Amino acid sequence: MNVQKKKRGELIVLSGPSGVGKSTVIAELLSERSDIHFSVSFTTRSPRVGEADGVNYNFVTREEFERMIAGDELLEYAEYVGNYYGTSLKVIQEKLDKGIDVLLDIEVQGAAKVRQKCPEAVFIFIMPPSFEELSRRLHRRNTDSEEVIADRLTKAQQECRQIPQYDYLVVNDTVTAAAHEIIAILTAEGCRVKNRTHLIEGV
Ligand code: 5GP
């Protein structure tokens, strides 16, 4: 019986409306699962208060982003409420090849592209307990204008229509419960026989 580490990491795609609390849930998840690599996306949006370059996002200009698109450097990208967001292919490829699990926090158009390119990835959608609660959370964040908040709420409704395309649905009622549900999903995924073939080689 072979008990070596798995050969390839798992790609985990997390989507959910802006303001649903994904970043907080992800922070909680990573504090308990420090073996997961969080993919820091590239974006043309401006940093919010408290956000740091290279930590929350790699903040780049539109010209730089368009150069990356032209150079085929992105696994996926999308335009969301007037800004580009995208995932670097090189970084995640290196991690997956080393057997490290990689977490992507991306919106639904990007997730659809990943689904085409990497159908074996795990797709998880986080939804708010209600749209009223989502609106409260977006206002409480105090970072966006009324117009941007209205755009994000409309977008949230459109995004929720894509939920049937996902493998798992988590409701972010409390951060701890949502993070624990995701950990349970990842534990179960890790136990799938297809993800444990390294344990049965030669059996
Ligand atoms: P925010 O501006 O609130 O940080 O992010 C807006 C949306 O962009 C969120 O739904 C977030 O999941 C998504 N997003 C962040 N990074 C990426 C990325 O690399 N690709 C795509 N397609 N969406 C992303």
Predicted pLDDT at 182:
98
3-class secondary structure, 85 = strand
Distances (CA, A) of 56 to 4, 104, 184: 33, 12, 25
Checking if the pLDDT of 112 tops 80, the result is yes
Query: Which tokens go with 37?
Result: 């690599």
**106 Cα to the center of ligand 1, angstroms:** 5
For ligand 1, atom 4, the nearest C-alpha belongs to: 18
**18 Cα to the center of ligand 1, angstroms:** 8
Checking if the pLDDT of 2 tops 70, the result is no
Give the HSE-up count for residue 130: Cα atoms under 13 Å, Cβ half-sphere: 3
* Residues contacting ligand 1 via CB (< 6 Å): 18, 41, 45, 76-78, 80, 85-87, 105-107, 109-110
- For residues 192 and 53, the answer to whether their CB atoms sit within 8 Å is no
Predicted pLDDT at 3:
55
Bridge partners of 59, per DSSP, are 43
Lowest mean pLDDT among 95-99, 106-110, 162-166, 199-203: 199-203
Checking if the pLDDT of 28 tops 60, the result is yes
Q: Of ligand 1's atoms, which has the minimum distance to the CA of residue 110?
A: 22
**25 Cα to the center of ligand 1, angstroms:** 15
Checking if the pLDDT of 104 tops 70, the result is yes
- For residues 76 and 92, the answer to whether their CB atoms sit within 8 Å is no
Q: What is the pLDDT of residues 118-150, one digit of tens each?
A: 999 999 999 999 999 999 988 988 778 899 899
Predicted pLDDT at 5:
65
Q: What percent of the chain has pLDDT over 70?
A: 98
Mutate to test the pocket of ligand 1, among 105, 125, 144, 157 (most ligand atoms within 8 A of CB): 105
Residue 104 backbone phi and psi in degrees, to 5: -110, 130
Bridge partners of 15, per DSSP, are 125
Q: What is the pLDDT of residues 42-78, one digit of tens each?
A: 999 999 889 999 999 999 999 999 999 999 999 999 9
3-class secondary structure, 125 = strand
Instruction: Report, as an integer, the average pLDDT of 1-14.
Output: 78
**98 Cα to the center of ligand 1, angstroms:** 25
Checking if the pLDDT of 1 tops 80, the result is no
Overall pTM surpassing 0.85 (yes/no) = yes
Given the DSSP bridges, would you call strands 42-43 and 58-59 parallel, antiparallel or unpaired? parallel
Checking if the pLDDT of 29 tops 90, the result is yes
**107 Cα to the center of ligand 1, angstroms:** 5
In sequence order, which ranges of the chain are alpha helices (DSSP H)?
22-32, 62-70, 89-97, 108-117, 131-141, 146-160, 175-190, 197-200
